[in-house]
């Protein structure tokens, strides 16, 4: 594992725990070069869910894009990184469940956006509106979302 501080590939595992109900391994590591301690996560790579974009392109689902979108929406808001990662993991589980139940291993980008908006509505109203302002293309629909938050 590459050290995030010095980029050395020499490290040792200090502790290993299960996370996310046993679907993830959390490893606490220490760089042997600089002594920096960091955490890594290991996930089982299942069949990849494909996200169908509005223009018809398909790409592999990337949890990091969800984390980045949520992080941007909650920027300068009182939301911890732990909460962001937990919500992103829950969204990933919902996406996998929906894709597997449909049997197609595909999900539209609009459905992914809806999952993120639903999660943000529960976490932080300002973040929800920020995300909606970028995600929703239609002005009337955006106004409806704002009214929902204000009511």
| pLDDT mean over 95-117 | 84
Whether residue 35 sits in one domain with residue 25 = yes
Average pLDDT of span 130-147:
73
Residue 92 domain boundaries: 46-150
pLDDT at 71: 93
Whole-angstrom Cα distance, residue 137 to residue 69?
16
Q: Is 73 found in the same domain as 31? A: no
Give Cα 137 distance to the centre of its chain: 22
Of 1-10, 47-56, 95-104, the least confident: 95-104
37 and 64 both lie in a single domain: no
Indicate whether 7 and 54 sit together in one domain: no
39 and 74 in a single domain? The answer is: no
| 64 and 113 together in one domain | yes
- Asked if residue 77 and residue 59 are part of one domain, the reply reads yes
Q: Are residues 55 and 106 in the same domain?
A: yes
Q: What are 56's two structure tokens?
A: 């018809």
Same domain, yes or no, for 64 and 38? Answer: no
pLDDT digits (tens, 9 = 90+) for 14-54: 999 988 777 789 999 999 999 999 999 887 766 678 888 88
Q: Does the pLDDT of residue 62 top 70, yes or no?
A: yes
Q: Judge if 36 and 61 occupy the same domain.
A: no
Give yes or no: residues 108 and 89 share one domain: yes
Percent of the chain with pLDDT over 70: 91
Number of domains in the chain: 2
Q: What is the mean pLDDT of the chain?
A: 86
Q: What is the pLDDT of residue 21?
A: 75
Residues 44 and 92 sit within 8 Å (Cβ to Cβ): no
**Same-domain check for residues 122 and 64:** yes
CA-CA-CA-CA dihedral for 34, 32, 7, 88, to nearest 10: -100
CA–CA distance, 66 with 72 (Å, rounded to integer): 10
Rounded Cα distance between 151 and 121, Å, is 13
Q: Is the pLDDT of residue 8 over 90?
A: yes
């Amino acid at each position: 594992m590459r050290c995030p501080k010095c980029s050395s590939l020499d490290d040792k595992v200090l502790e290993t725990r299960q996370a996310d109900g046993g679907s993830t391994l959390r490893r606490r590591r220490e760089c042997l070069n600089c002594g920096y301690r960091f955490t890594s996560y290991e996930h089982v790579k299942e069949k990849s869910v494909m996200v169908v974009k509005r223009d018809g392109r398909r790409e592999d689902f990337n949890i990091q894009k969800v984390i980045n979108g949520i992080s941007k929406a909650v920027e300068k808001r009182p939301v911890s990184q732990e909460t962001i990662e937990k919500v992103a993991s829950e969204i990933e589980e919902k996406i996998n469940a929906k894709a597997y139940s449909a049997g197609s291993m595909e999900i539209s980008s609009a459905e992914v956006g809806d999952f993120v908006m639903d999660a943000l509505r529960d976490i932080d109203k300002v973040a929800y509106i920020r995300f909606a302002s970028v995600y929703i293309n239609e002005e009337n629909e955006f106004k409806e979302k704002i009214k929902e938050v204000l009511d």
